[in-house]
Amino acid sequence: MSVPNSSFVTESASTGLYKFYGTIWKNTYRTQILLIAVSIAIALLAAAPLYFQQKIINGLTYGIQLNQMLLLGAQYAAAALFTIVLKLFLQYRVAVLGEAAVRHVRRKILANHTDSRRMGSPARYADGTIVSMLTAEAESVGLFVGEAISTPLVEVGMLLSILVYITVNEPVLGLFIALIVLPQGLIAGLVQKPVNLLVRRRVEILRGAVDQTIAADPTSQENAIREAFDEIYRNRRRTHILKLSSKAALNAFTALGSTGTLMIGGWLVLQGQTDVGTVVAALIGLTRIGRPWNNLIKFYRSLSVVVVRYDLLKEAIE
C-alpha cells in the first residue's frame, strides 16, 4: 500500500486546520470567549514570580528591611495562589468542553449512520470503520476541542510575558534566550510533517483491519489482518524514532541555554552591567519558559495529528 503524497497531505492538513477551527468556533464560541479571558489573565501573571524573586534576592544582597521582605513574600504567595485558582478553573472548563464535544461527534456519526441504514441506502462506511470512528477517533478529536484555543493562548502568552520581562531587565540575556528558543520551533515543525504522514497511514490501516476483523468470515482474512498489525507496529516504531530524536535535540538546546545564560549573566555581573537578582531571574525564567515552550510544541504535534484525524472523520459528521 502506498503512502499518500506529502504535498497533498500538507495541503489537506492546512485546509483541514481552517475547517477544524471554524467548526470549533461556530459551535463553542460562547465558552471559548470565557476560556480566552481566563487564558490571558494567566499569561499576564506568568512574569509575576520572576519580579518578586528578583526583588527579594536583590534585597537580600544589598539590604532589605524585614517588613519589606515579608510584604514581598505575601504578594508573591497571593499572585501564585491566584494563578493556581485560575488554572484549576480553566482546566476544568476545558475538560468539560472536550467531553461535550466527544458526545456531539459520536451523536453525529451515529445519527448519519443510522439514517442511511433506515433509508435503505448503501452505508458510506463499513461497520468496522464506524466502530473505530465512534471510539478512539471521536475521542481524540473531541477532547482536543476544549484546549484548541485556550492552550496555545496560555502557553504563547506565558512565554512572551516571561521573555519580555527578561529582555526589559537585561536585553542581552533576553536576546540569547530568544535565540535558544526559536530554533526549537523549527525542529518541531520539520519533524511533524513526516509524523503526520505516518498518522494518516496508521488510521487508514487500522480502519481496514477492524473492517476485516468483524467481517462475516474473519478467519479467511487472518493473514491480512496480522500483516496490518505488523505494518502498524513498523509505523509506530518510525514515529517514536522521529519524536524521540527531536526531543533529544530540544533537550540539548535547553541545556546549552542554561549554561549560556549563566556564563553571559556572570560576565555582565563581573562587568558591573547587571545584578545577581537579574541573572537568577533570567535562569529561573529560562526554566519557566521551557515548560510553556515544551507544552506549545506538544500542542502543535497534537494539533497536527488531530487535523489529520479530523480530515478523515469530517465526512461522517457533516
Question: Which long-range contacts does 181-189 make (Cβ < 8 Å, 24+ apart)?
Answer: 181/253, 181/257, 181/289, 181/293, 183/253, 184/249, 184/250, 184/253, 184/293, 184/297, 185/297, 187/246, 187/249, 187/250, 188/246, 188/250, 188/297, 188/300, 188/301, 189/300
CA dist list (Å): 232 to 26, 198, 200:
35, 9, 11
Return the pLDDT at 3.
36
Residues 154/86, Cβ–Cβ less than 8 Å: no
Q: Between 276-317 and 222-270, two packed helices, what is the crossing angle to 10 degrees?
A: 160
Q: Which three cell numbers stand for residue 48?
A: 509575576
Cα(8)–Cα(308) distance, rounded to whole angstroms?
Answer: 12
Query: What fold does the segment set 6-317 form as a domain?
Result: ABC transporter transmembrane region fold (1.20.1560)
Return the pLDDT at 125.
67
- Per residue of the chain (318 residues), give pLDDT as tens: 333 343 334 445 556 678 888 888 988 889 999 999 999 999 988 888 888 888 888 888 777 788 888 898 899 899 999 999 999 999 999 999 999 988 888 888 888 778 777 776 666 666 677 777 777 778 888 888 888 999 999 988 888 888 888 888 888 888 888 888 888 878 877 887 888 888 888 888 887 887 777 765 656 677 888 888 888 899 989 988 988 888 888 888 878 888 888 888 888 888 888 777 778 778 777 777 777 877 888 888 788 888 878 887 777 676
Cα(166)–Cα(187) distance, rounded to whole angstroms?
Answer: 24
Cα(208)–Cα(213) distance, rounded to whole angstroms?
Answer: 9
Return the pLDDT at 97.
93
Cα(148)–Cα(27) distance, rounded to whole angstroms?
Answer: 13
Return the pLDDT at 4.
39
Q: Is the pTM of this model over 0.75?
A: no
CA dist list (Å): 230 to 67, 92, 137, 236, 237:
67, 39, 21, 10, 11
Cα(219)–Cα(215) distance, rounded to whole angstroms?
Answer: 9
Residue 2 amino acid letter: S
Domain spans in the chain, listed from the N-terminal domain onward? 6-317
Cα(214)–Cα(278) distance, rounded to whole angstroms?
Answer: 64
